[in-house]
Amino acid sequence: MSNTEIQDPVFRRFYSHLNSAATILQSYDGRIPFAHFIKSYFSQHKKFGSKDRRQISGLCYCYFRSGKSYPQLTTEQKLVKGYSLSKTDWPQEWNAFFDSFHLPMEPPDHIFPLTHQLSAGIDPDAFIGSHLVQPDLFLRIRSGYKDSVIDKLQAADIPFVLTGDSLRLNNSVRVEDAVRLNQEVVVQDLSSQRAGALLLLYKTIYKNGPPPAVWDCCAASGGKSILANDVLGQIELTVSDIRPSIIANLKRRFQEAGLKNYRALVADATHANPAKQFDLIIADVPCSGSGTWARTPEQLLYFDPASIDTFVQLQSAITINATRYLKPGGYLLYITCSVFEKENEGQINRLQKEGLDLVEQLVLKGYEQKADTMFAALMKASS
């Protein structure tokens, strides 16, 4: 189909976006996250307005969402097929437009690799199907701010769903224009929030003691540390990450969140020495990120399965080092955003063989709620 054959201005604009998306995809090789790649691309090509950028980016992500399905299609056809799969209630004129591309009627059959390696309890079909739709945006309302946050969102005419202290919004919302991030709300996926159930469990076990010493040994942006602070109350917090820039960003975020009494270290978690022992160590370890690929669907095309074993080795090294700094009877909270058994139950089995007792583990099935899928386990060291 040529652009000159399309008379409707809506479809003409769509076809222009389609051509741009195809051009962008031809120059992408998966070496960096696509979000970084396309941001750089648009910064070098100033002709695209904000709506154009949003539409073109969306088309590219639709292309990735069907994974390695439809190998017989051209890039343009796969873009349109992916876009047609992004919802089920297309108007008749759009269905006619899609038909003009001579697309296969069959559903995608090769979206997610390695389904035989999934953690127990994950429904393969439901999990795979969830990749066709972009997950929602989730916020956690911090204590004392629920009424004011709701008022601000309503005043800004931002639709939301409230469940307890968790907010669900459309992923395109600029929530920072309405509420104060980190102070009033924390951007945190629903499954990350649900991992807080194990912090609550720890709180009931540790009750009536002095403020627990907590080490977040792979702190990254500090979301789990803020959650621990909010759930546990007063804590003696140590955070560490191997990347100096991450620690610098974390400090700014903690300032916004009102966290003042903490110690921050730039350290490699595989051999970090925090020079003390802890009641609780949070190890939100580097992983394949396979539970988040609905947000980064380029991984459906470019993920190297051999890297799973590399992540497993790294996770083992981190937890072996971290558990050296557990107090007798202390607790380890192990977290991944992976769906692979090797990174989840496999690591818990290893830790049990090394002397830790499993208190509780959770497979957080975010695919049922347009959220990430994660794994979390609370373990106890011998007294």
Strand partners, 374: 364
Instruction: Give the pLDDT of the chain (383 residues) as one tens digit per residue.
Output: 444 455 678 888 999 999 999 999 999 999 999 999 999 999 999 999 999 999 999 999 999 999 999 999 999 999 999 999 998 899 999 999 999 999 999 999 999 989 999 999 999 999 999 999 999 999 999 999 999 999 999 999 999 999 999 999 999 899 999 999 999 999 999 999 999 999 999 999 998 789 999 999 999 999 999 999 999 999 999 999 999 999 999 999 999 999 999 999 999 999 999 999 999 999 999 999 999 999 999 999 999 999 999 999 999 999 999 999 999 999 999 999 999 999 999 999 999 999 999 999 999 999 999 999 999 999 999 98
Rounded-to-integer distance, Cα 195 and Cα 118, Å: 19
- Give the pTM: 0.94
Rounded-to-integer distance, Cα 266 and Cα 245, Å: 9
The burial class, CB within 10 Å (0-12 / 13-18 / 19+), for 358 is middle
Rounded-to-integer distance, Cα 92 and Cα 39, Å: 34
Residue 113: predicted pLDDT: 85
Q: Are 161 and 171 in contact (CB under 8 A)?
A: no
Helices (H), the chain: 9-26, 34-44, 50-65, 75-85, 92-99, 124-129, 146-155, 190-194, 196-206, 223-232, 244-257, 299-302, 307-323, 345-353
